[in-house]
Amino acid sequence: MNNTNAFDYIVIGGGSAGSVLAARLSEQENIQVCLIEAGSSDETPRIQTPAGTITLYKSQKFSWNYYSTPQPRLGNRHIHVPRGKALGGSSSMNSMIYIRGLPSDYDLWEQAGCEGWGWQDVLPWFKRSEKNLLQQDAAYHGVEGELLVDKPRDPNPVSALFVAAGVRAGLPENHDFNGPALSGVGIYNVTQKEGQRLSSYRAFLHPHLGRSNLTVMTDCQVETLIMDGKTVQGVRVIAAGETHATALRCRKEVILAAGSIGSPHILMKSGVGPRAALAAADVAVVHDLPGVGQNLQDHLDGLVTVRSKSALTLGFSLAAWKPILTAPFRYLFARKGWLTTNYVEAGGFASTPLATGEPDIQFHFVPGYRSHRGRLFEWGHGYAIHTCVLRPKSIGSLRLGAGKQLEIDFNFLADPYDARVLVEGIKTARKILAQPEFAALRGEEMLPGKQVQSDEQLHQYVKEYCATVFHPVGTCKMGRDAMSVVAPDTLKVHGIDNLRVADASIMPTLISGNTNAPSIMIGERAAEMILRGGTLASTTSNKERAYA
């Protein structure tokens, strides 16, 4: 560990991308690396046990618990935005689903001016990270990486009913959503090791904490970047319990990996962002960069939730006393039982009538009752399908408010197309749940409810109840246009020296699925850029190295 306050590289954020970055950079013994994480240790069963994820989303300790500004097209509702606040970041609180999205997602990035980020360019880096335990197609999967990809240890039998019902409803069964096709229904692959969560931190960084050139600082929040003109010289941080900021100096670079909410927030607090917005927040403008905090995108989600009397589903009732009481013992001794669930064990991708070829909706099936009142727990049993819009057209933004606090405006349903797709997606979800496979479990549909049938009624339901599945991206997008924040070939912030961004915020458009795996890929590529000369071009000859 470095006993001074100077490092070669300072990585801000110990999440999906930041943990990879710190691990890869510190492989070089002559490089001093410091990782700064605002959250604390992940040493708790709430994080390590898969079923503990349900306790994390509104945790005062492990979640940032952001809320959006009132959304005018959603009845002025404030949308909850949980982001991970611990080593591992959001990969320490997510549902552990391993999804990459469509090849066309990345080809679209390349077509938008992000040369070197097409599907054939990024696939080797996905494969480099992955240790696939399922003997899936080697053309798409790696087997020597640190991130274990496995099947759920003990999926609830109702998850299999969902898959069978989806097939009967006309969707193909898909055994590998990261293989040649995305469409269909199936049991999701998860990032777990022997039935425990495998966050990016646990996979990549935790095994190497003994490195003498690696310093990991937890409970340490970044106040601002230290700037000399337009050159970053370090960061000011406030440790837990401290009242005064400490300066950490970088000899080479600072890399922002604080996520799509945290990274633009730090930039704006440091005077890098849209001039008028910074001035309005009483922040001295260091560099006018209009795209910072803009281009916010997230998957809009709608819920169908059904009550059931069947104790086969996850839930709390007198009839379920046996699986509840035996769950700790089954998990401890066999990694089986209720505590193994990630709650969204099954799901899939489908095309609504509005799709133009590729799937435009994703399902997350829950073999338990999702509260129609928004509660964490409800007494009784049931099942639910979350349906989200894969490529929404509504674009939001972040800005600084009073006291430099962040204001998050998703601008949901600004484009009516998103509501139309979600309505069609809810119809598809209902079609799956209407199949005979659910006959023995069927009960009352609580949301949207049997009285909600017409398109007009479903549109109103979407406005009153839709939320997100927690996949914000795009707020420091890479590109060459006037609204881009980082250069595609370096991930360096336009107009600022010694500063890069490497996390989901650089995505110019939202990918078709869960964002953890793509964020890890971004961390891999950023580290390789730095280690191989600082640019994307310098990594081209090392593609084979990525999955050799």
Give the per-residue SS3 of 374-421: CCCCCEEEEEEEEEEECCCCCCEEEEECHHHCEEEECCCCCCHHHHHH
Question: What does DSSP say about strands 381-389 and 66-67: parallel, antiparallel, or unpaired?
Answer: unpaired
> Residues comprising the binding site for FAD?
222
List, in order, residues 6 or more apart from 92 with CB less than 8 Å away. Answer: 15, 42, 47, 56, 62, 84, 86, 197, 199, 201
3-state secondary structure of 478: strand
Phi and psi torsions of 373, nearest 5°? -110, 5
Q: Which is the catalytic residue, given 265, 381, 386, 471? A: 471
**In this structure, is the dihedral angle defined by the CA atoms of residues 201, 51, 372 and 64, taken in order, positive or negative?**
negative
CA-CA distance, 355 to 109, in Å (whole number)? 20
CA-CA distance, 526 to 21, in Å (whole number)? 7
Q: Report whether 399 contacts 346 (CB < 8 A).
A: no
Is 471 an annotated catalytic residue?
Answer: yes
CA-CA distance, 440 to 436, in Å (whole number)? 8
Residue 168: closest CA among 384, 438, 425, 356: 438
CA-CA distance, 111 to 134, in Å (whole number)? 33
DSSP class of residue 36 equals E
CA-CA distance, 27 to 32, in Å (whole number)? 10
List, in order, residues 6 or more apart from 96 with CB less than 8 Å away. Answer: 50, 53, 190, 191, 192, 197, 198, 342
Q: Report whether 55 contacts 46 (CB < 8 A).
A: yes
Token reading at 491: 């991930």
CA-CA distance, 539 to 26, in Å (whole number)? 18
The helix (H) or strand (E) run that includes residue 238 is: strand 231-239
Token reading at 470: 């927690």
CA-CA distance, 168 to 170, in Å (whole number)? 5
Q: Report whether 520 contacts 145 (CB < 8 A).
A: no
> Residues comprising the binding site?
222
Residue 108: closest CA among 516, 477, 538: 477
- Helices and strands, number each (H, E), in the chain: 13, 24
CA-CA distance, 191 to 519, in Å (whole number)? 14
List, in order, residues 6 or more apart from 388 with CB less than 8 Å away. Answer: 299, 300, 301, 302, 361, 362, 364, 422, 425, 468, 469
Amino acid, res. 92 = S
CA-CA distance, 520 to 204, in Å (whole number)? 10
Give catalytic residue positions.
Answer: 471
